Amino acid sequence: MGIDYRQAARRAGQVALQVAAALFLTSVAWVLVYRWVSPPATWLMLERRSHRPQASYGGLLPEGASRRIHYSFVHLDEVSPQLPLALVAAEDQRFLIHRGFDTEAMWKAAKHNFGGDGPIRGGSTITQQVAKNVFLWQGRSYLRKAAEAYFTVLIELLWDKRRIMEVYLNVAEMGDCVFGAEAAAQKHFGRPARKLTSAQAALLAAVLPNPLKFQAGSPGPQARAKQRRVLRNMRRLGGTAYVRALLEQ
């Protein structure tokens, strides 16, 4: 008895559609849950917990350093308004007006990177970084970038800007095994996140591109220079009034 290839292909197509529908519904439910529930952990937290980073960042930590994760989720109204302002000023100045992707920033980053003038720049928005940090694994691949774009769209559709900022400032890595504003404020400055000054908030935002190299607790000349640039951007944006709509949502 011969194989009915047409029927087999039809069944395979039905299975593929069912799997795709299940993955879609699961991803929507996952994003919806985190609209109200604090993420218990991220993939990067688990990776940091399991082993010391292999990248060279000056040998600032001993080999036997503790791998305990410092992470305490706080709501946006428990954080100094200087910090969301600093994050917008440093990472994504069009955060309040874009819908997840900043094509202008992406185009500028692409031109800079193709020109080979200085270090590589990224064009990721805060929403894209939330998608990457909360829902995805670490690494670089076309599959991961596609998944990042997909989750970015879902986040913008299902969350408001306040929640996006709230999750971002809680899950962003701000030191080895240190995640989020509260843990970073306590670890680096010995105070709660609600008492961060503008200079301290700018320093936390300044080290975000590489918090294992540019440590907020012992900043070097490069971190200080970036901190000054962030402070200038914060003033240029008009101070905390710029993020007032975000804070009052």
Sign of the CA dihedral with 105 first, then 48, 159, and 164 last: negative
Question: According to CATH, what is the number of the domain 38-49+68-247?
Answer: 1.10.3810.10
Give phi and psi for 39, each to the nearest 5.
Answer: -60, 125
* Whole-number pLDDT of residue 56: 46
Q: Above pLDDT 90, what percent of the chain?
A: 58
CA-to-CA distance for 86 and 10, rounded, in angstroms?
A: 54
**Distances 206 to 89, 97, 200 between C-alpha atoms, Å:** 10, 22, 10
Residue 157's contacts (CB-CB under 8 Å, 6 or more residues apart) are none
Domain ranges of the chain: 7-37, 38-49+68-247
- Angle ∠(88,100,25) on CA atoms, nearest 5: 135
* Whole-number pLDDT of residue 7: 81
* Whole-number pLDDT of residue 145: 92
Q: For the stretch 17-30, what's the b/e string if a residue is b when 16 or more beta carbons lie within 10 angstroms of its beta carbon?
A: eeeeeeeeeeeeee
CA-to-CA distance for 237 and 192, rounded, in angstroms?
A: 25
User: Residue 65's pLDDT band (boundaries 50, 70, 90)?
Assistant: low
Query: What is the DSSP annotation of 189-216?
Result: ISS-GGG--HHHHHHHHHHTT-TTTS-T
Q: What is the mean pLDDT of residues 141-169?
A: 95
Whole-model pTM: value is 0.86
Instruction: List the single range of 107-111, 170-174, 194-198 with lowest mean pLDDT.
Output: 107-111
